[in-house]
Structure 1
């Protein structure tokens, strides 16, 4: 499955810790991320992470476009709720996920449930919606 990772600046280290804890599960899937988050995760875990542009240069729009085309099966966007100026980015990604029935987590608690469900096969229904599990370009 294709998994997108995003995180606000104050949550990047939490994303790294999360991906380190679940590297065994994540390594069985195709991982994509915005630039800084992706490099931090790849450096810490050894996971193969395809990095898009940084958030400031359009990385969230690149991920958003792929969500709109139903190319992601799971989106983890660790949100910093104390950063009001970034709330529009979370809203934008969450709305696109809702429109395309893509599981979305904005915090570590929900992300853990989704990744554990992924390991159990609870998200296999996404293979019907998005039959191609090959990496996106």
Structure 2
């Protein structure tokens, strides 16, 4: 795979997702970081987004619920370059009926080189990063070059 460098903007698009047993943890985390999060665009899967808006004064773009395709919606946005960070509080103790969607979302985040936090501690560290509020360069797959090579 060939790569290119793109610039992540200062105002990030942050996607938020939480499994049922961890939705309260995500709400607590959002409350803790509400001031910082309000400086960025936030999208979330349906139920998580509704609960966050209910408990915080954040403006959330709510997608559909994860098991109904919300995880895949976020994955599509990542591959289109429309999500800069992912906070995904997934439950390692509870098997999920949509586990393949969860794995696909994490795979796409890795492919497109976006920061991913899977728990409170890693999400706190992401929010404390000096790169949170400034542009930074990252490597992503060079899709145009990939298509050109495959179509020859």
TM-score range, shorter chain: 0.7 to 0.9
- Name stretches of at least 5 consecutive residues in structure 2 with no aligned partner: 1-11, 141-152
Q: Provide the rounded CA distance (Å) in 2 between the counterparts of 1:73 and 1:126.
A: 12
1:77·1:90 contact (CA, 8 Å) conserved in 2?
no
> How high is the TM-score relative to the length of structure 2?
0.77
Task: Give 1:128 deviation, angstroms.
Answer: 9.3
2:120 equivalent in structure 1: 108
More strand by share: 2
Give runs of aligned pairs for residues 69-84 of structure 1, distance below 5 A. 69-84=80-95
1:59 equivalent in structure 2: 70
Q: In the alignment, does 2:113 pair up with 1:121?
A: no
Give runs of aligned pairs for residues 1-137 of structure 1, distance below 5 A. 1-85=12-96, 87-117=99-129, 120-121=130-131, 124-125=135-136
Q: Which has the higher contact order (CA 8 A, sep 6+)?
A: 2
More helix by share: 1
Say what the alpha-carbon RMSD is for the aligned residues: 1.9
* Deviations 1:1-48 (CA, angstroms, capped at 9, x unpaired): 100000000000000000000001000000000011001111111100
1:2·1:32 contact (CA, 8 Å) conserved in 2?
yes
1:5·1:37 contact (CA, 8 Å) conserved in 2?
yes
Aligned residue pair count:
127
- Name stretches of at least 5 consecutive residues in structure 1 with no aligned partner: 130-137
1:33·1:50 contact (CA, 8 Å) conserved in 2?
yes
Task: Give 1:126 deviation, angstroms.
Answer: 5.2
